[in-house]
Amino acid sequence: MHFPRFWSSAGSGTCVAWGWSDESAAAAHAHAESRLQRIRALLGNGRERLQRGYGYPDRPMREPVVRDFRDASGQLAAAVTRNGYGSLVLNTAGLMFVDVDDTEPAPTGGSVLSRLFGGGKKPAPPPLETRVRQSIESWIKSRPDWGWRLYRTRAGFRLVAAHAPVAPESADTQSAFDAFGADKLYRALCKSQACFRARLTPKPWRCGSRNPHHRWPFADAGVEAAFQEWQRDYLAKAAAFATCELLGSFGNPSLHPALRELVEFHDATSRATSKLPLA
């Protein structure tokens, strides 16, 4: 898990590179200049391909850390960051999150020929919740020491493995992602950043707010003040919504001592037991 403290940009027009450093703003700017030269060279050779969704999974996320959690040895166990559109995100080194979005296409009536010759309408697949619960049951049958917490989200479901810490790059993680159908970009992000991610607060457009015009790091005090004004409006509107709803626990009911604080923080900040509308 790596969230550099210092960031700087270099370039002009449509070619802009960001650099980062844990030591100084000057080092971050030097890194930005170096990356800019590399990107220009790749663009000149037609080799640079931009990835969308989570951005670049092979480099740190440009997000400020607003809170961190340390383990008994002082190592970083989790960090709360603010993403590009202003929502708070929990990043964890050992508490596994698996988000399963409902992307199943609507069933169709089949072709004219299939209806004429008995093909008829294809049966609709089971609801996503049914499939997720079946996958949980199957998983626990083969791994009875595991415990899963199931949450409903606006776009689908979230699973949390709270029985024991699990490393993001482990074989168990990849097996869980396969079993529950985790998003491919999310898989790549977890592996490269060595952390799991879970959004804690609503997406702005789902709670009647708008996306912020400015993103961290802020260019000057005026830009930061404008962002803070946006944030006050966003938080006021977000207070009427939850990010997920706890549906129940399955398998091993115990919360691992190293994970209990994170689970409780996740549930409180996402308002998982509030019964508020999801956003």
DSSP per-residue letters across 114-158:
HHHTT--PPPPPPPHHHHHHHHHHHHHHH-TT-EEEEEEESSEEE
The per-residue pLDDT for 220 is 94
- For 1, the 3-state DSSP assignment is coil
Residue type, 139: W
The per-residue pLDDT for 89 is 97
Residue 29: both structure tokens together: 């700017």
The per-residue pLDDT for 58 is 66
The per-residue pLDDT for 26 is 96
The per-residue pLDDT for 110 is 44
The per-residue pLDDT for 117 is 46
d(CA 267, CA 226): 30
Q: How far is CA 271 from the centre of its chain?
A: 17
The per-residue pLDDT for 8 is 94
| Predicted TM-score of the model (pTM) | 0.86
Q: 13-43 burial, b for 16+ CB within 10 Å, e for fewer?
A: eeeebbbbbeeeeebbbebbeebbeebeeee
The per-residue pLDDT for 51 is 47
d(CA 197, CA 183): 12
Residues of the chain with pLDDT under 50: 50-53, 105-117
Q: How many CB atoms lie within 10 A of CB 169?
A: 13
Length of the chain: 279
Q: Where are the domains of the chain?
A: 1-50, 63-120+127-270
The per-residue pLDDT for 64 is 96
Give pLDDT tens digits for 9-46.
Answer: 998 767 888 999 999 999 999 999 998 988 888 777 66
Strand partners, 92: 78, 196
